Chain A
Amino acid sequence: MDIKNSPLSLDMAALIRGLKAGRALRGLRSVAVQSTLSPQCNNVRRGFHRAALLRLASDSKSDTSVPPPSYHEVHTAGESSSSSAQGESSEGAQSNTSFQDQSGEHGEDYETEEQLQARILTAALEFVPQYGWTVETIAAGAETLGLSSASTGMFNNGAGDLVLHFIAQCNAQLAETLAEQNNLVQLGQAESKKTAEFLKDAVEMRLRMLIPYIDSWPQAMSILLLPHNIPDSLKHLSTLVDDIWYYAGDRSTDVNWYTRRAALTGIYNTTELVMVQDSSPDFEETWAFLDNRIKDVVNMANTAKQVQATGEAVVQGLMGAAITLKNLTGMNQRR
């Protein structure tokens, strides 16, 4: 793809070319090993996307004279220092700064592509009860922000992006709440909970975030089970479980680290499944199920400890018997 010769003409052809180039570059980026290559490709891709989006926006809030990034500016945006890009494009409009300048000092119009995607997906969440976890939802969300529904082209993964964004948001919210509670406990303003109670409360808090979307949640779960979504959903799940155990006070550095997280993952997943087909008022059955599962795990842990203690006692008994035998037969003396 020849950067120099592609015109940035403002029509549908340009949009399609831009999106295709974006996809090609994304593919290129996934192959390229050197990190120096990706910021450049990223920036060119962002340039195309941004140009395309802004041109097609019916009601662009950023129509305060943001000319599309010219080749010169896109090229200089690929340079490492933002100051040089700013220097060179200082004659241009105010927001033609380097794409690496994330400070936002140059006006609220400026944001990264990730931030824009996040805003669209967050806006799309309110349409989930209406359209489910689909690309139409994202389109509806984009329209509320004044962008064209064609901006769903930004989301390669479609509905998967929406579900993963929602999950990440819920996990972040949970981590924040747990951190605040932890602070209060350390400042002595709150009592620390026992592990079982803490786990129950944390899982319940997290599952309650699903309640507004519970009717369409099976669809979301099936999206997460698609092969290309599995690595990401597992990553989010493991972050969630790690956060909950960390704030529950787990500092283990042996195989317990793994068994605890595996147990909590099992509890969380099964409770989620129970929740989607629970029709009791305020999901009482789900919380009862959760309580029972946590009790099971605690019992198992206690049983394991008891078995270990018994085993050690038995071994000691056997050793004692063996030494007694050696003494009796006179084999224990040093000659």
Chain B
Amino acid sequence: MQRAAKCALRLDLSRAFCPSSVRNCPAINKVNDTVLCRRYSVLPPPRDKEEKAMLDSMLRVDHAGEYGANRIYAGQMAVLGRTQTGPLIQHMWDQEKMHLEKFDEILGEHRVRPTLLLPLWNIAGFALGACTALLGKEGAMACTVAVEESISEHYNSQIRTLMETDPERYTELLQLIKEFRDDEIEHHDTGLEHDAESVPGYFLLKTAIQAGCKAAIYISQRI
């Protein structure tokens, strides 16, 4: 009860002071009841500084990843929005927006610092999305495949870390990450279905994008 009041108050304050953060609760509500509308916290209260630091860095990089993916789809939509693949990309983009909202919520609730390089990921993501979309629909799908593969690999390694540490303690967080990883794998498969591999230089493009993603993950965990 107090939790719900706290949630409501926080949303009010957020809307007044930081319009860019938590937004339309109804939009969140309508999409996925089990995950996004729980009124209890996803993380356990931290035992000590090391655990807080570990969880902080994990959530920071996840938030940065979803933010980047959001911007990549925005870039792709800017180029291909009015073509036939528009609705498909829009659908994947909406799912990424959901993920980002959820991470925004978690970061605000648990006082996790977002990464300093968000403006950089903003520009880089949009540029990557737009440039690969300029190669045509296959280019956009190839970019999707590469990025989603990196992200799902990253989520898998996080799941492994949490399972090794203490699966019971992190049940909700594990459930959340597993759900998001499944969404990302779905995007990856969608990309493959829509002729990602037929773009010229697919292997080179994919390797380059994945190297960039790995570097971004490494940096965001620390900065």
Chain A residues within CB distance 8 Å of chain B: 185-186, 192, 195, 242, 246, 248-258
Contact = CB atoms under 8 A, between A and B. Distances in A.
A253 B122 CA distance: 13
A184 to B, nearest CB: 12
B21 A252 contact: yes
A255 B111 contact: no
Contacts of A250: 17-18
Given A186-B2, A186-B9, A251 B18 contact: yes
Contacts of B104: 253
Contacts of A253: 21, 63, 103-104, 107-108, 114
Contacts of B111: 242, 246
Contact of B18 (A185, A192, A252): A252
**3 pairs of A and B residues whose beta carbons are closest in the complex:** A251-B108, A249-B13, A252-B18
A273 to B, nearest CB: 27
Interface string B60-89: 000100000000000000000000000000
A42 B10 CA distance: 43
B221 interface: no
A323 to B, nearest CB: 14
A255 B118 contact: yes
Contacts of B21: 251-254
A83 to B, nearest CB: 21
- Tell me the dominant secondary structure on chain B's binding face: helix
A256 B108 contact: no
B114 A251 contact: no
Given A246-B111, A256-B20, A251 B13 contact: yes
Contact of B20 (A185, A195, A254): A254
Given A186-B9, A249-B14, 13 more contacts: A192-B13, A249-B10, A249-B16, A249-B17, A251-B10, A251-B13, A252-B20, A253-B63, A253-B108, A253-B114, A255-B118, A255-B119, A257-B114
Interface residues of B, number: 25
Contacts of B10: 249, 251
Contacts of A254: 20-21, 114, 118
A195 B108 CA distance: 17
8 contacts: A192-B13, A242-B111, A250-B17, A251-B109, A252-B108, A253-B104, A253-B114, A256-B20
A256 B20 CA distance: 9
Interface string B103-121: 1100111010110101100
B174 interface: no
A128 to B, nearest CB: 29
B39 interface: no
Nearest to B9: A186
Most buried by B among A249, A251, A252: A251
B6 interface: yes
Contacts of A186: 2, 5-6, 9
Given A186-B2, A246-B111, A257-B113, A251 B119 contact: no
Most buried by A among B18, B103, B107, B116: B18
Nearest to B100: A253
A242 B119 CA distance: 21
B1 to A, nearest CB: 11
Contacts of B109: 251
A180 B65 CA distance: 36
Contacts of A252: 18, 20-21, 108
B140 interface: no
Contacts of A248: 17
A228 to B, nearest CB: 21
Most buried by B among A185, A195, A257: A257
B147 interface: no
Contacts of B146: none
A25 B94 CA distance: 56
A258 B22 contact: no
Interface string B3-33: 0011001100110111011100000000000
A257 B9 CA distance: 19
Contact of A256 (B6, B18, B107): B18
A175 to B, nearest CB: 12
A252 B63 CA distance: 12
Nearest to A242: B111
A320 B111 CA distance: 42
Nearest to A243: B111
Contacts of A192: 9, 13
Nearest to A249: B13
B103 to A, nearest CB: 8
Contacts of A257: 113-114
Nearest to B20: A254
A254 B63 CA distance: 10
A250 B22 CA distance: 11
Contacts of B63: 253
A254 B21 CA distance: 8
A307 to B, nearest CB: 15
